[in-house]
Homo-oligomer: A and B are copies of this chain.
Amino acid sequence: MFELLIKSIQEKVPSTEEELHLCKTYFTPKRLRRKQFLLQEGDVCNRMAFVEKGALYSYTTDAKGGQRVMQFAFEGFWISDLYSFFTREESKLNIEALEDCELLLLDHEQHDYLLKNVRQYETYIRILYQNAYVALQQRLEVTIGLTAEEKYSHLVDQYSTIVNRVPQHLIASYLGITPETLSRIRKQIASR
């Protein structure tokens, strides 16, 4: 149950077996069925989730009731609404399971405790943010700079997991285009 988390920590902050073993005590395992929610808009996000198995995605709902996909998370990734998690304000995000999931949850209190008392945890989190920030910056570049087709090609090249495991209309939303446009782009690419 903790294999991937331990691997993720080990990669970033070399630690002893004991230390790694200890960290287990702070996390709560949780199973989630496809279509179940980890977070619903209006609630305060009180935890971060590490994905041991399965897939989830987060999205906002716009004025006309449409989804705007913000993030996908697969095995080995974290997902949460960090804005709500830190500010303690109501979240505007929904986090929903795309597939049946096995998660490890860390709640706000435990996160704070670990930050204060376990130096390695703070280092781990710092590196996590560092990577997340850089990845988000690249996504922004792609989103602003490329045409719909280029965005999709980039996704296929760089994040084939997403393309393989996620329904097309959610990919379209993630790229900021309509499902119809994505369908046409795929047709065009296929015909070459």
Mark A residues whose CB is within 8 Å of B.
Answer: 60, 62, 68, 70, 82-83, 86, 115, 119, 122-123, 125-126, 129-130, 132-134, 136-141, 143-145, 176
Contacts and interface: CB of A to CB of B under 8 A. Distances in A.
A57 to B, nearest CB: 14
A143 B145 contact: no
Shortest 10 CB-CB contacts between residues of A and residues of B: A129-B129, A144-B176, A126-B126, A83-B134, A133-B133, A136-B136, A68-B145, A82-B134, A132-B133, A129-B133
Per assembly, the copies of the chain total 2
A115 B145 CA distance: 34
Contacts of A136: 133, 136-137, 140
A141 B86 contact: no
Nearest to A87: B134
A145 B62 contact: yes
B83 A138 contact: yes
Contacts of A122: 122-123, 126
A82 B131 CA distance: 9
Contacts of A139: 140
A83 B137 contact: yes
A143 B141 contact: no
A68 B145 CA distance: 7
Given A70-B137, A86-B130, 12 more contacts: A70-B140, A82-B133, A82-B134, A83-B138, A86-B134, A119-B119, A122-B122, A125-B126, A126-B126, A139-B140, A140-B140, A144-B176
